[in-house]
Structure 1
C-alpha cells in the first residue's frame, strides 16, 4: 500500500482473527458475540486441573494456526489431557496458550462476507464435511467436501448472524484502530436456529472456496477492485441459481501418513461439461505428467439444479479418473440429499 499497490486482504492486526483463537475469544467477550464458554491456559497443570473439574465432551484447541487440525473434541479426561500434552509439546509449533471450550451440540455452517473496510456484503454459505470417513466419522481433516448453499440458512438465521456476530466483530476491529478488508469466513455452530461463533478465517475456506466461486456470476476481479478502492457498496454481486457440490479426492492414509509422488493418470482423458470443474490442490507436474503432492489432491465440483445430481456427477468424474492411490467420501451432502 505504501507503494500504491492495491491490496485485497486484512491488515496484520485484523488477521489475528484467524491467527489467534484467543484474540477472537476476547473480542467475543467484549462485544457479547455468542460463542462457547472457554478458558485460556499457559501451563499444562492449570489446563489439566480445569479438565478434571469439567463436564464432557469438551473441546481443546491450539491457539495459533494449525492447518485446520489443531482442534480436539474430547469425550473423556484421558483424551483431553493427551490433547493438552500434544499441543504444549509442539505438535502444531510453539504455543504459549491453549484454549479449552465447552462443547456446543449443533451443526456447523460456513458463512462468508466480503468487506472493503467501510461496508460488507454477504458472500454465500457452505456446508463443509470435516471428518475423514462417511457418516461424519473418523479423524478431523481440512475438509473432505462441501456443498453450497447450506441447507441450514434461512432469512431469520441470516439476520441473527449479521447482527450478533459480523457487525460487532467489524465494529470491534474499527475501535482497535484497524479495518477489515477481504474475505471474512465465520465458522459457526447452529444450535436450534441460533448462531454461535466457533472461529474466524480471514480468507475463504478450502474446500468452500472452490465450492462457492463457480456459483459467482459477477467478475471476481471487479469485486476485488471495488474492495481495494473502498467502493464495494456500489458493486452488485450476482449469483447463479444452481447448487454446487464438491468432493475432495485424497491420498490414501490422509489425514495420517500418506505417500507423495504417486502418478495420477487419465486426467487429460476426462471431458468436462459445462458446470463441471476439477481444481488441483496437492498435485505437481513433471514432464507433462501429474503426481500427488499432498493429502488433499483434487477437487471435483459440479453445479446443477439439485445436490443429488451434483454429487452423482462428481463421483462419476472421480471414477473416470480411476486413481488407485486415492480415496474420497461418497456421502458428501448426505443430510441435504436425504431430505
Structure 2
C-alpha cells in the first residue's frame, strides 16, 4: 500500500516511523517532509494550497491513503476536496475542523451543549476589549480567534499586559483578526487528552502533558512545544469517564447536529480543577510534540487504525499500548521562538546510537547533499520509553549530549511535575 503524509514536523516523522513498521506499507510520500522522513520516504515539494496539484500527484502515483498532519490544510478543507475526488484521507472535514479553526466556534458549541469551559467574552475591536479589561479580575486569558500555531494565547497578570495582547492580535500578529476572545483564568493543572474517531466509534488515544513555555519552570514566551511526557499524572478511570461524558461526547453530538461527523484525531486541551475537567481548547489533529511522545507507546498497527477510521470500522480494532512511560525533549534553534538563524549544519547526528526504546524525530531539518541542516525553530525531538520518567529523561539528556550541537538549546526540566528531584 502507498501512503502519503502531509506535513513537515516531528509529528509527521513520527507517523513515518510508526507506519514503516506495518507489513502492509510499501511506499511513503511526505509533502514536504524533512531530513528525517527523507531516510524512509520520498519527500515531495508541492504547493499544498493548490489542492488540484496534490490530487494530480496522488492520482499519478496511485497513493492509497493520505494522512493530514497539521491543522491548516484541515481548516482549509483538504479532506472535503480529496473525498470528493474519491481519495481516501484521514482527518476531519472543514466544518468539524472549525473546532480548532475558530475558538469562538468552539466556545459557542460549549455554551449550547453545557460543556464545562472558562467563562468568556467575544470582542470585535480593541476599544470594546480595552473597556472590558478595565473592570475585570486578573489574571485573565486573551486568545486570537483563528489558527496561531499554538502561540496565540496570552495569560495576562495586569492591565498593561492585557492591552499589549489586544493590540498585537488586532494588529495582525496571527493573521487578520475579526474577533478576539477574553476568558477567565482557570487555576488547575493542564492535561492533553486524545481520542480517535471514525464518526461512529471513539477510542482513547492516550494522554500527555506538554510544556509550551520556552524557559524552564514554564516561564517565558509560548512556543509550539518544548517537550512532553505521557501519560498525564492525573488520568484515572473516574476522570476519564468525566471527560468523555461531559466534554468529548457532547462535542461530537453538537457537531452532528451541525451536519458534521468527526473522523480523525481529536485533541482536547483540558484544565483539571479538583478532579473536574474544563475544556481550554480543541485541536483537530495530533499535537506536536505530544504525538512524538505517544506514538512510541503504540503496539498496534497504525496503518490498520487509520484505515479502520476511514472505513468506519474502528469498532473492529483493538488499540493496544506498551505499559511504559514516555518523555520527549525538543531541541530548538538558538533564538527560538523569536528570531533564529537558518541553514545551520548539524554535524554529529551519526554519533547518536538509539536502542529500540529511544527515538530521534526530525522537525525543522533538511537534507542537502547528505548533510543535515536546521531550518526551523524546533529542530529535533528526542524520546525515550522507560519504566519511570526520571530514567527516561536521563537517557534523553545523554542522547542530546552525544549530539553536541552548539546551534541549539533545550529545556532541562521537562517532566518536572512527575519527576522527584
The two structures have a TM-score, normalised by structure 1, of 0.99
After superposition, give the CA deviation of every residue in 1:119-153 in whole Å (9 maximum; x if it has no partner).
11100000101111111111111111001111111
State the alpha-carbon separation in 1 of the partners of residues 319 and 258 from structure 2.
29
Q: Which residue of structure 1 lines up, in the alignment, with residue 133 of structure 2?
A: 51
- Does residue 278 of structure 1 match 2:375? no
Correspondence for 2:172: 90
Equivalent residue, structure 1, for 2:123: 41
Alpha-carbon distance in structure 2 between the residues aligned to 1:31 and 1:119: 20
CA distance in 1, matches of 2:292, 2:355: 17
In 1: Cα distance, 2:330 partner to 2:407 partner: 13
- Distance in 2, Cα, partners of 1:4 & 1:60: 41
Q: Among 166, 183, 187, which residue is 1:105 paired with?
A: 187
Match of 1:177? 259
Cα deviation for residue 165 of structure 1 reads 0.1
For residues 184-216 of structure 1, give each alpha carbon's deviation from its aligned partner in whole angstroms, at most 9, with x where no partner exists: 000001111111000000000000000000000
From 215, 218, 243, give the equivalent of 1:136. Answer: 218
Unaligned runs of 5+ in 2: 1-82
Give the C-alpha shift of residue 2 in structure 1: 2.7
Q: RMSD between aligned alpha carbons?
A: 0.8
In the aligned structure 1, how far is the partner of 2:339 from the partner of 2:268? 30
Q: Tell whether 2:348 aligns with 1:251.
A: no
266-275 vs 70-79, greater mean Cα deviation: 266-275
Find the aligned partners of 2:180 and 2:220 in 1 and give their Cα distance.
Answer: 24
Cα distance in 2 for residues equivalent to 1:158 and 1:5: 35
- Unmatched segments (≥5 aa) in structure 1: none
Matched pairs, number: 339
Match of 1:310 in 2: 392
Rounded to whole Å, the distance in 1 between the matches of 2:89 and 2:211 is 31
CA distance in 2 between partners of 1:135 and 1:83 (Å):
22
User: 1:228 aligned to 2:319?
Assistant: no
Q: For the residues of structure 2 that align with 1:289 and 1:58, how far apart are their CA atoms? A: 46
Structure 1 segments of 4+ aligned residues over 3 angstroms from their partners:
none
Inter-partner Cα distance in structure 1 for 2:347 and 2:219:
30
